[in-house]
Amino acid sequence: MSSSDQTTPQGEDRSGAESLVQTFVDAGVNVCFANPGTSEMHFVAALDSNPEMRCVLGLFEGVVTGAADGYARMTGMPAATLTHLGPGLGNGLANIHNAKKARTPMVNVIGDHATFHRKYDAPLTSDVEGVAKPMSHWVKVSQSADDVAKDGAEAVQAALAPPGQVASLILPADTAWNRTQASAAPLPRLQPNAVNSDQVEDVAKALQSGESCVLLINGILTAERLAMANKVAQGTGARVISDTFVSRIERGAGRAEAMRLPYFGEQAAEVLAGTKHLILISTQPPITFFAYPEKPNWLTPEGCELHTLVERDGDIDGSLQALVDVLGVGQQAIETTQLVRPDRPVGDLSPKALGMSLAHYFPEDAILVDEGGTTGGPIAMMTQNCAPHDYLMLTGGSIGYGMPAATGAAVACPDRQVINLQGDGAGMYTLQALWTQARENLNVTTIVLANRKYAILQIEFGRVGAHNPGPKAMSMLDLSNPDLNWVSLAEGMGVPAWRANTLEEFNTALAASLSTPGPSLIEAVV
């Protein structure tokens, strides 16, 4: 369908912004996370024109974009974001980067100066397109009020293009306030590329070779996808391994597992050692997160053959099902996670003990958002055998993701408990999300893992060859002097909070938090 075909120049007279809001709602985009400025006031006013559009205020653009990411990971539909010109968009880019790496559908609306005002180079004038392009798959500037509706429909279509994309629509102020009668119907949803039968046959041949095979998988790892991958593994002797960081995993009791590729390159190389066929499912060959002096960054073992079952924009479910059919393993039994609910732990307040406590109290159908860094890893492992739940993690490495993503997930799934494992250093990037959680009365329990340092950087210091750090260097990795007071920070945002210095205090606080509706925070001093 062409742009001209989708636009109907008739209907009620309304502002360009009102036409955009209606277009979004018609296309299924009915949540907007916003931090507006002067250029966006007509879009803000337009929100009142449509009761089906929910608008959620964030006090920092990184909260807005991170919340849109968390929302879309849980719903499969994009939320809109609203930010103010280039600087406002720039404030939100870190979490747009994470969303892009997660393949999250997102529609960004960025206000700009009126078209006739740009020539004056006002203080907030910038290259908004230039700011948007590095973190977006699709960027467009609306040229008139009559174009806004069709541009909005195209943005939603682009965001939903497989496997999920970031679409950024720049809305000059006059295109938002000028009147129009134009409207736009939702555009057809683009479909993933069809199953490649040659690739399926090639992978099947590798799996039947009798040699060591690994299925390396990324994307949204639903229970159904993991079950199909595990049927293949059980029927052929292969192993299923997920990338280190994926968008979302449905895991827990009764679901098939996928081993997570370790973060550190040496450990990942050890896991993959001896593999003769590495089968890529919506992913790329594994590499280290960073380059290190005199250490390998390419993790595919020497002599290992690479095979692609399905590219990132392909039909993952269809390709897995085709592979199951070719191999004849449709009736193959699979191993599933067994429910383990440990006794309430006692003793020292350690990451393992925190994980045991969380596993003891873990609610059914919860959403676990992990930005816990070095401390969060062991806790996440201890919750593998909990009741069925969704697990979201940091995909792009840009910290400040956890609290906003938990906020968006709670907006998406108001009847589910959201638990956010949050490192204290990363939490300081976007702690304003707590205010939004309080304002919206979201069911989020934030567990701040307060080790009072950038622990991962202390580890990486030596790994990159920067040995023997002195007091100046170590002070750059230390979060004490003064200690962050997360109880005060949370309460200042309207969120009830507890500090736990002992495991007993943590158990008491966690039980209280999970049994009380609304947001709360526990500062666990580890």
pLDDT at 10 exceeding the cut of 70:
no
Q: Closest by alpha carbon to 241, among 266, 220, 265, 268?
A: 268
pLDDT score of 427 = 96
- Please give the pLDDT value at position 5: 43
Domain boundaries, the chain: 3-184, 197-327, 351-525
Q: Which fold has domain 197-327?
A: Rossmann fold (3.40.50)
Residue of higher predicted confidence among 490 and 460? 490
Contact 309, 238 (CB under 8 A): no
Separation of alpha carbons 104 and 341, rounded Å: 33
Tell me what pLDDT residue 9 has: 46
Tell me if domain 197-327 and domain 351-525 are identical in fold.
yes
Do residues 269 and 299 lie in contact, with contact meaning Cβ atoms separated by under 8 Å? yes
Tokens of 192: 């993933």
- pLDDT by residue (tens digit) across 140-158? 999 999 999 999 999 999 9
The confidence score (pLDDT) of residue 11 equals 64
User: Is pLDDT of 4 > 60?
Assistant: no
Domain 3-184, CATH class in plain words: alpha beta
pLDDT in tens, 459-484: 787 788 777 788 888 888 888 889 99
**Residue 381 half-sphere exposure toward CB, CA atoms < 13 A:** 12
Looking at the DSSP assignment, which residues form a beta bridge with residue 213?
A: 277
Highest CATH level, class, for 351-525: alpha beta
Tell whether the model's pLDDT for residue 453 goes beyond 90: no
